[in-house]
Amino acid sequence: MDLSKRYGNIYSLFIGSQLIVILTGYEIVRDALSNRADVFSDRPNVPVVTIMTKRKGIVFAPYGPVWRQQRKFCHMTLRSFGLGRLSLEPRILEELAVVKNELLRMYTDGEGTAVDLAPLVSNAVSNVISSITLGQRFHHGDRQFRTLLDLMARGLELCVNSPAILINVFPWLYHLPFGAFKEIRQVEKDITVFLKEIIGQHRSSLDPDSPRDLIDMYLVETAQQQESMGTGETSFSEDYLFYIIGDLFIAGTDTTTNTVLWMLLYMTVYPDIQEKVQAEIDSVVGSDRVPSLTDKVSCPFTEATIMEVQRMTTVVPLAIPHMASETTEFRGYTIPKGTVIIPNLWSVHRDPNVWENPDDFSPARFLDENGQILRKEYFIPFGIGRRLCMGEQLAKMELFLMFSNLMQAFTFRLPDGLPPPSMEGRFGLTLSPRPFTVHVTPRHRDLLTSEFRDLFGVSSYLLSSHNFHTICTSFTPRLNIMAFVTHQFIRTLSSTAVRNAAIKHITIIGGGQMGAGIAQVAAATGHSVVLVDTSDDILKKSIKGIEGSLKRIVKKKFADKPEAGEEFVQKILKNVSTSTDAASVVPGTDLVLEAIVENLKVKQGLFGSLDKVAPEHTIFASNTSSLPIADIASSTARLDRFGGLHFFNPVPLMKLVEVIQTPMTSQATFDALHDFSKALGKHPVSCKDTPGFIVNRLLVPYMMEAIRLHEKGHGSKEDIDVAMKLGAGYPMGPFELLDYVGLDTAKFIIDGWHDMDPENPLFNPSPMLNKLVEEGKFGKKTGEGFYKYK
Average per-residue pLDDT in the chain? 85
Is the pLDDT higher at 209 or at 657? 657
Active site residues: 625, 646, 658, 696
Q: 435: which residues sit within 8 A by CB, 6+ positions away?
A: 116, 118
pLDDT-derived band at 490, boundaries 50, 70, 90: very low
SS3 24: strand
Which neighbouring-strand residues pair with 432?
Answer: 426
Mean pLDDT computed over 325-349 = 94
Annotated binding site for heme: 389
Q: Are 257 and 122 in contact (CB under 8 A)?
A: yes
Q: Which 3 state secondary structure label does DSSP give 36?
A: coil
User: Burial letters for 319-356: b for 16+ Cβ neighbours within 10 Å, e otherwise?
Assistant: bbbbbbbeebebeeeebeeebbbbbbbbbbbbbeebbe
Would you say 247 and 75 are in contact if contact means Cβ atoms under 8 Å apart?
A: no
Give the model's confidence band at 134: pLDDT under 50 very low, under 70 low, under 90 confident, else very high. confident
- The mean pLDDT value for 630-641 works out to 89
pLDDT band with cut points at 50, 70 and 90 for residue 563: confident
Q: Which of 143-157, 414-428, 734-748 has the lowest mean pLDDT?
A: 143-157
Averaged pLDDT for residues 108-124: 84
Above 70 in pLDDT, residue 173?
yes
Give mean pLDDT, residues 209-216.
84
pTM of the model: 0.62
305-319, 415-429, 519-533: segment of lowest average pLDDT: 415-429
- Interhelix angle 734-741/743-756, rounded to 10 degrees, is 90
Question: Rounded distance, CA 258 to CA 265, Å?
Answer: 10
- For 415-459, where are the E strands, in sequence order? 426-427, 431-432, 439-442
Which pLDDT value is given to residue 83? 63
Q: Please give the share of the chain, as a percent, with pLDDT higher than 90.
A: 45
Identify which of 265-269, 452-456, 473-477 has the greatest average pLDDT. Answer: 265-269
Mean pLDDT confidence for 60-64: 91
Torsions phi, psi for 396 (to 5 deg)? -60, -40
- Over 80: is that where the pLDDT of 23 sits? yes
Of residues 337 and 139, more confidently modeled:
337
Q: Taking 80 as the threshold, does the pLDDT of residue 388 lie above it?
A: yes
The pLDDT of 85-100, averaged and rounded, is 81
Q: For residue 22, is pLDDT > 80?
A: yes
φ and ψ at 341, to 5 degrees? -110, 125
pLDDT band at 446 (very low <50, low <70, confident <90, very high): low
Residue type, 190: D
pLDDT band for 340, please (50, 70, 90 cuts): very high
Return the SS3 of 438.
Answer: strand
**DSSP 8-state code for residue 81:** T
Q: Which domains does the chain have, with CATH numbers?
A: 2-448 (1.10.630.10), 450-485 (no CATH), 505-688 (3.40.50.720), 695-782 (1.10.1040.10)
pLDDT of residue 281: 95
The Cα 583–Cα 593 span in angstroms is: 13
| Burial class for 92, CB neighbours closer than 10 Å (0-12, 13-18, 19+) | buried
Integer Cα distance of 528 and 539 in angstroms: 16
Q: What is the pLDDT of residue 234?
A: 87
The answer to whether residues 23 and 343 touch, using CB atoms and an 8 Å cutoff, is yes
H or E segment and range at residue 344 = strand 340-344
Name the binding residues: 389
Q: What percent of the chain has pLDDT over 70?
A: 91
Amino acid code (one letter) for 633? A
> Which residues fall within 8 angstroms of residue 170, CB to CB, at 6 or more apart?
none
